Amino acid sequence: MPVADGGARLEWTDVAVGTDIHRVVFSGVPVDATRSVRQRMEWLSGPGDGLRRLLIEPPYGLPAFCVDLITPPDDPEAEAGFIIMEVMGYPFFSGSNTMATACALVESGRVPRTTEDGVQCVRLQTPGGRVDAHVTLQAGQVTSVCVEGDETFVHRADASIELPGIGTVAYDLVWSGGHYVMVDADAVGLAPERAGDAEALALAAQVIEAVQRDFDLRHPVLGDVGLPRFLHWMWPEREETPGCWVATGGTYGHPGVLWGCPTGTGTVARLARLSRQGRAAVGATLRNTSPAGTTFEGAVVSTGMVGDCASIRTRVSGEPRVVARMTLDLPPASPLIMDCSLDWLNG
C-alpha cells in the first residue's frame, strides 16, 4: 500500500515448508478488481514483475524463495485467491505454495478457524483453478496441510534430447500445474547428495533449455501455459507394500534453484507417471523425499481425462510452519523502487 511519504509498505508472513521459505503477501499490492486471478497473474508477469524480483532477490530474499500474493478470488466458492511467483516466473499451481498460503491465512486469522483440534477445509483459487487445502490443527496451530489440486497427466512420454558431451537423455513431460521434465537421475550419473552442486544445476539447465527448443505443446484446457521450467530428478522408487511407493526426488526450477522440499507438483507428477505405467491405481501413495530430507506424501484420488490425455487427481501433504511476520517500508527515494520497476505501486 502507498504510505504517507509516497513510499510503499508490504506486509507478509514467511512460511517454511521443509527448508524452503514461502512469502505470503497480504497487503501492499493494488488489485484491479475487473480482472480474473489469471489475468492478474499475466499482468504481474509483465509490467508488475518487480514485486517478484524484490522479494526473491537480495537484499530481501533469495532465488529459492517463493512468493504467494493473496488476491480476491473470482470463484464464488473460494475464500481467497493467490498468485504464485518463483524463480522461473508464475506457475499456475503449486502444492507447497498452497500449503504455505493456507497455513498463513489460518494462522493470521484472515480465514477464521473453525476448529482448534481437527481438520478445516480452506478453499482457494489459483490461476489454474480451484484448490482445496485440508488444514490439520492441534491446539489452534497448523501442523499439516493436505492439498487437492490440479489434474495431472503425462503430456509427452518417452521423449529424448541429445546433449553435447553427454549423449541421449530420456524424459517424460508431465503437467502438474507447470510442465515438469521427469529425468532418471541414475541414468546421468547423478547422486542425491550432489543434486545441488553447480555441475548438477548446470546439467539441469542444459536439459531444460534443450527441451524448450523443441517445445510445441499447449494445455488442452488452459491453452498457452509457457515453456517448461521445472525438472524433477527421479531416483529409483520401490513398492514397500502393494500400492505404497517410496522414492527420492529433487525439483529444479530454471534458472539455478534446487528446492529443499520435493515439491507437491513434482511429487504428483511422479504419481502421474506411475499411473500411466500401470503401477499406481486409485488409492496408491508415494512418499517422496528430497535430497535435503523433506518428505511429501501424495495419493491418487481419482482418474479422468484432460483432452486426449489420461489424468489423475491427487492429494499431497506436507508440514508448513510460520517462521516470521514481516513489514517492509520502502521510502520513495529507495533505489529498489527504481531498480525493480515496481509499477504495481501505481495500481
User: Which residues are part of the catalytic machinery?
Assistant: 94
Which residues touch 177 (CB under 8 Å, ≥6 apart)? 91, 92, 93, 94, 95, 126, 128, 149, 150, 152, 265
Burial of residue 133 (number of CB atoms within 10 Å: 0-12, 13-18, 19+): buried
Q: What are phi and psi of 40, to 5 degrees?
A: -65, -40
Helix, strand, or coil (residue 28): coil
What is the CB-side half-sphere exposure of residue 155 using CA atoms within 13 A? 22
Q: Which residue do the cell numbers 527441451 mark?
A: 211
The sign of the dihedral angle between the CA atoms of 304, 308, 310, 313 is: negative
Tell which residue, 56, 149, 140, has the closest CA to residue 94: 149
Which residues touch 319 (CB under 8 Å, ≥6 apart)? 17, 143, 144, 145
d(Cα 336, Cα 326) in Å, to the nearest integer?
A: 18
User: CA 3 → CA 6, 174, 332, 346, distances in Å?
Assistant: 6, 44, 9, 12
